[in-house]
Amino acid sequence: MKIISKLWILIGVLIILSPLGLLLPEHFKAGSAWGEWGADEMRQLAGYVPKGLEKLSSLWSAPIPDYAFKGWEDKPLPALSLAYISSAAIGILVCVVAVFILAKFLKK
Amino acid sequence: MHIPDGYLGPGTCGLFYLAMLPIWTVASRIVKKTLNSRQVPLLAIGAAFSFVIMMFNVPIPGGTTGHAVGAVLAAILLGPWAACIAVTVALVIQALLFGDGGITAIGANCFNMAFVEVFTGYYLYRFISGSSLVTSGRRVIAAGVAGYVGINIAALSAAFMFGIQPLLYKSAGGQALYCPYGLNVALPVMLGEHLLVFGWVEAIVTALVIKYLQKHSPELLAEGRKIQ
């Protein structure tokens, strides 16, 4: 098999395993990455929400926020894992399409 | 390491968009000169790999999370300029579709992960590899060291961006307007967690894939076939 096909299989395996990136932090009670807190977390940590941060933090409303479908925030972990896998697949599909479109412009 | 909207002031955000503009321009020109259609799938794999590996959040029990970036691996496989484009694609999609990293901070995040990490990792890998064979153990070590150092320099750069905000932007009452933590907090925390945990994740991921490719596709690692 060609190496490119093998690497795509590797990406496929990573998509299926991706919920580990959700479940392991949950299991070990690890919170957000440092410096990636939402406004509420910031209030707890720093005692206040910096004014500029409050204003800018809601600037962009992503269609699939934090790799979970909108309104799924309180769903149980299996549902969130499914959303995570879907997000990985969607994100990678968009990455591939974007690279192929870019390549159309960049090809010699 | 995905700086969200609201943590960096407008001046900092603008500065790093400005800094990335010539880098993206040069990257496009160089890739345009060397990209042939057989290499496009590899560029797509670079972007896809970087995208998905960043979803593997690794916990520090009871503390924060972090993840590998895959930028050094992309740099070794694609050359630094093509890797810069691949990681940029992943970061832009993460910001726009998934809100992972702010849209105002795309310049800053690309500077850290698609430029600083890519180029540090690439040249360190080249330096340590020296003239060794593409299948030599030295290249696996080189990949691991480059991954470790690359992500840590990127974390240092991100920590610096966070840490200077309270110096740059204050309300009349003295409260921070954006990131409230100064260099005295941002530097030790960001560097500490990457030196102790996430740097090793990047090192292992990078070294393992290079080891795998040495066995299954050494020609992919050969110099000169890259999209330089």
- What integer pLDDT is reported at residue B135 of this predicted model? 94
Residue at B228 is within a domain: no
Domain at B191, CATH number? 1.10.1760.20
Q: Which value, in Å, is the radius of gyration of the alpha carbons in chain A?
A: 18
Across the interface, whether the CB atoms of A107 and B47 are under 8 A apart is answered no
Furthest-apart CA atoms within chain A: distance in Å: 57
Report the distance separating Cα B89 and Cα B71, nearest Å: 12
Q: Which of B85, B88, B89 is nearest to B110 (CA)?
A: B88
Instruction: Please give the model's pTM, rounded to 2 decimal places.
Output: 0.96
Look up the ipTM and state it. Answer: 0.96
Residue at B65 is within a domain: yes
Residue at B149 is within a domain: yes
Across the interface, whether the CB atoms of A53 and B2 are under 8 A apart is answered no
pLDDT higher than threshold 90 for residue B50: yes
Residue at B5 is within a domain: no
pLDDT tens for each residue of B185-213: 999 999 999 999 999 999 999 999 999 99
Provide the domain count of chain B: 1
Q: Give the Cβ contact number of residue B82 at 10 Å.
A: 27
Contacts of B49 in chain A (CB under 8 A): 7, 10-11, 14
Contacts of A20 in chain B (CB under 8 A): 56
Structural domain harbouring B25: 10-221
Q: Give the Cβ contact number of residue B54 at 10 Å.
A: 25
Residue at B23 is within a domain: yes
Across the interface, whether the CB atoms of A51 and B175 are under 8 A apart is answered yes
Out of A82-96, B28-42, B156-170, least confident range: B28-42
Task: Please report the residues numbered 95 through 114 in chain B whose beta carbons come closer than 8 angstroms to any beta carbon of chain A.
Answer: 95-100, 102-104
Give the mean pLDDT of chain B.
95
- What integer pLDDT is reported at residue B224 of this predicted model? 54
Residue at B99 is within a domain: yes
Q: Is A60 helix (H, G, I), strand (E, B) or coil?
A: coil
Residue at B226 is within a domain: no
Residue at B137 is within a domain: yes
- What integer pLDDT is reported at residue A107 of this predicted model? 72
Considering CB atoms only, which of A11, A21, A34 is closest to B64? A34
